[in-house]
Structure 1
């Protein structure tokens, strides 16, 4: 009977650790089955782990008969562990394959998901969300998560390299941070509280002791909007620095953006199957004053007045795209953010 518990088994190698120099060695591998097919007395399966994939070939005469039979009954997405021998094979995708000697089935699939794990796109979003954990096994989606992880790591490292202290501020607060219109109310025991919109006030206080602080954490904004600029929940990259002005802040932001793009370019070189576009950036991010842009927008016939917000569609119309800074805003619309000059 095939064991179904991990027991004393532990992975000895990831797929990427295996190569032809290990021929004849016994290894313990674990992962999920992305494909399986039988040809007479032989069953081929591809086992996927965090680092890649490896071919497993269960053949009568080379592996125990009961093991070959158990493997032949497995379905895609089943989670298993194998002890087997490394063998070289010119036909195998990586030049090697595993001849199994023992098997443990941690999770056996009864019904195969209604989409191909190798598919780049799946149209039915409801089906995907119902089994999101399986949907995320598709490489196209995994690349997004891995790229995001690399970017966050790079940004954190930037702050550490520039002597910032990482902080964690409360996400349940008693009063609004930036005005009450965009707050999610919650019950905190017998009192009303809110999900934090921003760590702004905490950052400002902490610079009095630490001078330079940063936080990468969720923010919550109850703004009913269908644009990708107004998510109800998002990850915000916040920093605060003492003894600087807004010019220094813009310089800091520019450095972070450039490092992020460089990180993405390096990720793309190592992963030639990425499906997202990496934005380009000029040597220096251009800066515009609010007054100059408003004048150009008004010249297009727009009814915008002094103090109105500037919208992406208006800016695109006058050729302002990509990365840019808008400075010297009027105090009225943004009193919380704008310092009188």
Structure 2
């Protein structure tokens, strides 16, 4: 390593800003960096400063420096030199250091040493600063890119983006998991899904989608649940059955993974995760067959009307081992496990099943990331279903009326963005896949 230069009092501003990821393009040249003090150390008069900007980190070295506290915003001018042990293979010999905004106290968390397997509450309590960590922002970058790919693919398939209300008069799925609020003296709720509105909008654009938060007042305290999460919703009209919906999601996921390969290879490498290959035809298995499989192969008995978390994990293990697929569709859910708008299965003799629906889930690496299916489009069938679920037909009028006016056969699905992000990156707790998570105990920061 060459001897570092002694800094001047202030940095010149004539040089354009260089991002740390581009240092290799300026070997032997002078550059101007701006970013945060990620880490610092003093070794016998030689001082090291690791600078973090939006593109990565860079090792900077000098002497006689007055280094500010970590997380201070700084500007550095110096010469780029190749260095095998430095991040990215280059370091900057500091010629001048300027503090743009000094941290006035030590960070409550040591950002370079944070890990996802430490006490999540500590990291989330100080999320306003812990979110700056390289792994933390990697998760958010991956999520941003998968949402971009979601938009791009669906637009290419003739979908129109919509925006639906988040203050509603009734729940889309019934039940008690609704956040209540006072709406000028009337009872209202935060939307648990855009489902009913996106169905209505199928009558307008035929193919619609939305990216927006949804709210579930469920008192979970698990590593896989949030009370506010980003839902990626899709609805499409003029379908034959739920198979068309699954085919669309198959193509969508393949496009998302291709986008991540192009834009997020560094983020996956940073966290030691792999981007999955999406099969041309994701395997399908009915719910009853899935329950039988995990019992016969793994000795796991499933109670209740759905798969439990262990059954989901075992089923995914089976398909990973036997077909090399990280994905599996579970189909033909019973009516008791699906909302009132789920279309019933049509029996081989043409009669309507009273027990089975055309609903499905998509499992990925051991967890459900999608719920979807074909919806009821016939008005009489819909009203019968609303009554069968013991819901008030009058409360559903704003939704059910549209089915008097020729709604086509349609279906769709919703992907939980945080769950998908977490499973892609191997994040054990889904709260780390959201910048500012909301769970049953957290309203801040």
Distance 1:115 1:171 in 2: 38
What's the counterpart of residue 95 of structure 1? 90
Q: Deviations over 1:135-182 (max 9, x none)?
A: 223322232222222222222211121121111211111222111422
The answer to whether structure 1 residue 12 and structure 2 residue 17 are counterparts is yes
What's the counterpart of residue 274 of structure 1? 271
Distance 2:300 2:25 in 1: 70
**Conserved? CA contact 2:37–2:51, under 8 Å:** yes
**Conserved? CA contact 2:109–2:130, under 8 Å:** no
What's the counterpart of residue 56 of structure 2? 52
Q: Which runs of 5+ in 2 are unaligned?
A: 1-8, 320-325, 347-445
Change (3 A) 1:303 1:72: closer
Higher relative contact order at CA 8 Å, sep ≥6: structure 1 or structure 2? 2
What's the counterpart of residue 76 of structure 1? 70
TM-score by length of 2: 0.62
TM-score by length of 1: 0.78
Q: For residues 55-204 of structure 1, what are the structure 2 equivalents within 5 Å? A: 55-59=59-63, 68=64, 71-82=65-76, 84-88=77-81, 90=83, 93=86, 94-101=89-96, 103-115=98-110, 117-120=112-115, 123-204=118-199
Match of 1:250 among 243, 246, 261: 246
Q: Indicate the structure with greater helix content.
A: 2
Q: Which runs of 5+ in 1 are unaligned?
A: 60-67
Match of 1:222 among 213, 217, 220: 217
Q: Deviations over 1:248-302 (max 9, x none)?
A: 1111112222333444455664442223454565442222334545666898796
Structure 1 residue 117: Cα displacement: 1.4
State the superposition RMSD in angstroms.
Answer: 3.5
- What secondary structure sits across from 2:208 in the alignment? strand
Distance 2:287 2:168 in 1: 33
Alignment coverage as a number of residue pairs: 322
**Conserved? CA contact 1:81–1:106, under 8 Å:** no
Segment drifting more, 38-47 vs 167-176: 38-47
Distance 1:238 1:75 in 2: 44
- What secondary structure sits across from 2:270 in the alignment? coil
Distance 1:224 1:10 in 2: 54
- What secondary structure sits across from 2:37 in the alignment? strand
- What secondary structure sits across from 2:35 in the alignment? strand
Change (3 A) 1:264 1:189: same
What's the counterpart of residue 65 of structure 1? none
Distance 2:302 2:24 in 1: 67
